[in-house]
Amino acid sequence: MSRKPCCVGEGLKKGAWTTEEDKKLISYIHEHGEGGWRDIPQKAGLKRCGKSCRLRWTNYLKPDVKRGEFSSEEEQIIIMLHASRGNKWSDIARHLPRRTDNEVKNYWNTHLKKRLIEQGIDPMTHKPLASNSNPTVNTPPENLHSLAAPSSDKQYSRSSSLPSLSRLTNKDGTPVQGGSLSHKKSFKRSSSTSRLLNKVAAKVTSVKEILSASMEGSLSATTLPYASYSDGFSEQIRNGEGSSNAFLTNTLAEFDPFSQSPLYSEHEINATSDLGMDYDFSHFLEKLGRDDHNEENDMNVEYGHDDLLMSDVSHEVSSTSVDDRDNIFENFEGWSNYLLDHADFVYDTESDTLI
DNA sequence: AACAGTCTCAACCGCCTCGAG
DNA sequence: TCTCGAGGCGGTTGAGACTGT
């Protein structure tokens, strides 16, 4: 059985679309609407295949298609979603209002992928490259959100020397812990959506680092990511307050992306059961902190069925027990991914509302 | 000014999914 | 249940723009 190819036909034009062709297509769709792409070329008087018409319309002519530079917020979202979903461009594009999958894909291939490689990160696995050829940059792979360049990236796009690299090193050439200042900057400039995503990703990384350091008894200012933060998080560490599980507990408890995000009203926060959660996020973190402490006495502690992430949504996000620290890490990442997977809203940056 | 190399992104290609009959 | 076709998706290409020498 062989299927007749869609775009095989005599006299069909290929290549760049002319203004005249665009006008014909726009005019036809305005009058008759989208759909029935196979018939559109003939009806609209175009010597194109239907598929070509559909692509031209969806990627370029459609009125609500956003074009132009990607903002740093959009970059961060792309990087984060790519880390959890891979090359699912249409999926990623759904989280970027008015962006097409083709545009996201192109932007990844021409900008973001190169930037990750330059910073010693495998763009496919989002882990450090086997042989890190860039000793001046030692950014943890999880610091995906810190890799987004300023929105003025376009001006560097044709340069092989990425400007972000200079921001990743101190004056003496040593790497800045946890990435670049642009990360901090991005918090200020973020939309609510990306602030939420930033927070999740940042804390995932931070908690990982802290737990690792704590486990090794080596927690210190130098082990902390985001040392350049001024949000009080690393301040406590630098002040010597961060050498115990108490700090971890406090730090974890203070982080609640729901409460910090205007995207969620109070009733929405309380409605986390919609996500299969019996506790809100701060409860989860507090418990995680407690159990991390208790773990010293009971390394085989099992979470009850009413524990966030460990029960109702566990099939989606992670394992059901936390008997080692790797699982703790996975649960944070799992929660982050779960959040993204369920964030089927579209954020309108103009009205600052969910649509 | 001319040329070569590099980069960008619109467009194409081929495979996959899904729904209608 | 099977077949078929429309539409969707991700990978790739190549023309044109840009940059460096």
- The full set of domain ranges for chain A reads 19-61, 72-156+173-181, 191-349
- Which positions of chain B lie under 7 Å from any protein Cβ? 6-15
What gap in Å lies between CA A276 and CA A164, rounded to an integer? Answer: 40
- Which positions of chain C lie under 7 Å from any protein Cβ? 3-12, 15-16, 18-20
The structure's pTM equals 0.50
Domains A19-61 and A72-156+173-181 are alike in CATH topology: yes
Nucleotide nearest to A36 (CA to C1'): C6
Q: What integer is the mean pLDDT of A285-302?
A: 35
Q: Domain A72-156+173-181 belongs to what architecture?
A: Orthogonal Bundle (1.10)
What gap in Å lies between CA A321 and CA A302, rounded to an integer? Answer: 5
* Strand B at less than 7 A from CB of A319: no
pLDDT digits (tens, 9 = 90+) for A215-242: 444 333 333 332 223 233 333 333 433 3
Element (H, E) at A347: strand A347-348
Banded model confidence at residue A6, pLDDT cuts 50, 70, 90 = low
Residues with CB under 7 A from strand C: A 1, 3-4, 6, 15-16, 35-38, 50-51, 54-55, 58, 87-91, 101-102, 105-106, 109, 158-159
Look up residue A21 and give its two tokens.
């062709």
Residues in chain A: 355
Banded model confidence at residue A10, pLDDT cuts 50, 70, 90 = low
Spanning CA of A154 to C1' of B2, the rounded length in angstroms is 27
Look up residue A258 and give its two tokens.
């729901």
User: Do A90 and A99 form a contact (C-beta atoms < 8 A)?
Assistant: no
What gap in Å lies between CA A118 and CA A147, rounded to an integer? Answer: 10
Q: What distances in angstroms separate CA A156 from CA A121, A159, A160, A162, A246, one per listed residue? A: 20, 5, 8, 7, 45
* Strand B at less than 7 A from CB of A112: no
Helix A325-342 to helix A281-294 angle (10° resolution) is: 170
Residue nearest to nucleotide C4 (CA to C1'): A3
| pLDDT-wise least confident of A100-109, A166-175, A188-197 | A166-175
| pLDDT-wise least confident of A33-47, A65-79, A137-151 | A137-151
Q: What is the pLDDT of residue A54?
A: 87
* Core vs surface per residue A288-313: b (16+ CB within 10 A) or e: bbbbbeebeeeeeeebeeebbbbbbb
pLDDT digits (tens, 9 = 90+) for A205-216: 444 444 444 444
pLDDT digits (tens, 9 = 90+) for A77-130: 888 888 888 888 888 888 888 888 888 888 888 888 888 877 778 787 877 766
User: Do A29 and A2 form a contact (C-beta atoms < 8 A)?
Assistant: no
Q: Domain A19-61 belongs to what architecture?
A: Orthogonal Bundle (1.10)
pLDDT digits (tens, 9 = 90+) for A139-168: 333 344 444 444 333 333 333 323 332 222
Q: What is the pLDDT of residue A12?
A: 82
Task: Inform me whether the pLDDT recorded for A190 exceeds 70.
Answer: no
Query: Among residues of chain A, what percentage have pLDDT more than 90?
Result: 0
Q: What distances in angstroms separate CA A226 from CA A81, A216, A272, A331, A340, one per listed residue? A: 21, 19, 30, 21, 23
Q: What is the pLDDT of residue A16?
A: 86
Spanning CA of A2 to C1' of C4, the rounded length in angstroms is 11
Task: Inform me whether the pLDDT recorded for A53 exceeds 60.
Answer: yes
